[in-house]
Amino acid sequence: MLFSPGQSFTYTANPGRVIFGHGTIAQLPDEIERLGLKRVLVLSTPFQRSEAEKLAQHIGEKAAGIFAGAVMHTPVNVTQDAVAVVNALGADGVVAIGGGSTTGLGKAIAVRTGLPQIVVPTTYAGSEMTPILGETSDGTKTTRSDPAILPEVVIYDVDLTLGLPPMLSGTSGINAIAHAAEALYAWDRNPVISLMALEGISALSGALPTINHNPSDRDARAAALYGAWLCGICLGAVGMALHHKLCHVIGGTFDLPHAETHTIILPHALAYNAPAIPEAWQQLQSVLGDDPALALHQLALKVGAPHGLGAIGMPEEGIDEATGRAFANPYWNPRPLEENPIRQLIARAWQGAPPAKD
């Protein structure tokens, strides 16, 4: 049992409507109508423009247009361009289809304009379940939380994830696991979120190897999307720690792909915190095995993830810069940050070496 009779906690449930299943995209027009929207702007990345066009056709006359300019880390200048399109077209809402980049753009538009947003995830990012927005300007990534950032409706359609390539499925899924892992030792953790965290980690860690072997396995895809939803709730409900701080610093500074960065850093950040989180470590053992940090490293290898930050574009000389930035405005963390161990953590992550507990 995750609840201790002597435990005190505060649990705040974020509002929002979730529709989950196969073929649920068919309900999008009804959801637009339910929100009273007349002209919605469809958002996507350039790569997913064809999906945005299909979505716009499905919506019909309520599609005001398409903005296919979403990119990772939600640059402020891209958001400004999108808001200009919103104003020019007279859009009264946005529909984001895709992963974290598109969801982030929808959130950034919503918090600036007050417009309602619907998200149709096609990855396992989990951002759609949070009131958190990370934005990049001049090479620096900052985050903020605001109820106005939270999407009004999320439509999970398992069928839309069937085309997600196996490696991207793996890194996206491990990125989601990171949200749940840190939720287990968050300063404001509670037993409700811990239940969701363990269920989400179990679902994803079981499904991702199957997806890597057979991407069209509908049961595994459903389990992964279910797990990602739960992990996203965790991210939106409690605070995060060292892992997310490092990913924001390193990803934003060196413009690295989001999911891959989280996948590579997670085992190392977890190993760093292991001495300070005995209860959470035991909980993770119940779903990942004796050494959860090593298990996540091995899971990344199984799904074909890149073998280190160096492999995704971070220069070796960036290790010292990332170490220094990790100590600027640090997140709360269960283990105090120590400069040499943090540098060693980043160096191992850069090399793609297995995690090591100091």
Domain CATH number, residue 88:
3.40.50.1970
Domain shared by 289 and 176, yes or no: yes
Measured torsion, CA atoms of residues 238, 243, 248, 252, in degrees rounded to the nearest 10: -160
Report how far residue 43's alpha carbon sits from residue 64's, in angstroms, rounded to the nearest whole number: 11
Partners of 96 in beta bridges: 43, 119
**Which has the closest alpha carbon to 323: 307, 308, 338, 306?**
338
pLDDT tens digit sequence for 62-72: 999 999 999 98
Last residue of a domain, one of 103, 133, 161: 161
The total domain count for the chain is 2
10 within domain boundaries: no
Q: Are residues 144 and 170 in the same domain?
A: no
Identify whether residues 157 and 240 lie together within a single domain. Answer: no
Residue after which a domain boundary falls, among 110, 130, 161 = 161
Is the domain of 211 the same as that of 126? no
Answer with the one of 161, 188, 222 that is the final residue of a domain: 161
Residue 231 and residue 82 in one domain: no
* Token code pair at residue 196: 């969701």
Q: Does some domain include residue 322? A: yes
Q: Does 184 score more than 90 pLDDT? A: yes
Q: Tell whether 117 and 175 lie within a shared domain.
A: no
Query: Does any domain span residue 57?
Result: yes
Are 121 and 211 members of one domain?
Answer: no
Rounded Cα distance between 283 and 280, Å, is 5
Distances (CA, A) of 16 to 19, 25, 92, 166, 358: 10, 17, 18, 29, 41
pTM of the model: 0.93
Domain hosting residue 290, numbered range: 166-351
Q: Judge if 67 and 203 occupy the same domain.
A: no
Reported as a single tens digit per residue, the pLDDT across 207-261 is: 999 999 999 999 999 999 999 999 999 999 999 999 999 998 999 899 999 899 9
With respect to residue 11, please indicate whether it lies within any of the assigned structural domains.
no
Residue 343's pLDDT band (cuts 50, 70, 90): very high
How far is Cα 100 from Cα 260, in angstroms, rounded to an integer?
12
253 shares a domain with 110: no
Q: Which residues of 255-282 are buried (b: 16+ CB within 10 A; e: fewer)?
A: bbbbbbbbbbbbbbbbbbbbeebeebbe
- Average pLDDT of 113-129? 95
Q: How far is CA 92 from the centre of its chain?
A: 26
Taking only the tens place, the pLDDT of each residue in 1-49 is 687 777 788 888 887 899 999 999 999 999 999 999 999 999 999 999 9
